[in-house]
Amino acid sequence: MCCTGESTPALLLQANVTLTEHPAGSSAATAPSGQGRGRGVLLPPINDQTRWRQMTFPPPNGGDVLITSIDGNPACASYNGGGCLWGMNADQIDYTRLIPLVCGEGHRARWGVTGYEDPKHWCSLARQQQ
């Protein structure tokens, strides 16, 4: 089953390679140019609640989840880099613990697929909304 459960330390390490995290209060990161909507836009750190938006997805990964964009790819809020926090709204998330699951290569490292292969997968649907 995709995107739930615990991940192994090696896979967490792989998933974290694509992330740039900044301590609370540090300056924001600049989105890479040429990727997604946020070209050259300053993004808040991963643990800043204003960076995240709630989206509702149909099955197979149905429900509400918080989404952001990392390096031009959608990412869901996760505490382990592998399982999205389905059904949790913004006020239930501990933003200091976030290790997002990033679609694309990060998702492939954890689940064997990028999430873009299936047009009904949350990665594909979130990518259309970027």
What's the pLDDT at 114? 97
What's the pLDDT at 81? 95
- The identity of residue 73, as a single letter, is N
Q: What's the token pair of residue 101?
A: 């699951």
Q: Where are the domains of the chain?
A: 9-17+47-128
pLDDT band at 17 (very low <50, low <70, confident <90, very high): very low
What's the pLDDT at 60? 78
φ, ψ of residue 78 to 5 degrees: the values are -150, 150
Across the range 22-27, mean pLDDT stands at 32
Residue 57 has pLDDT above 90, yes or no: yes
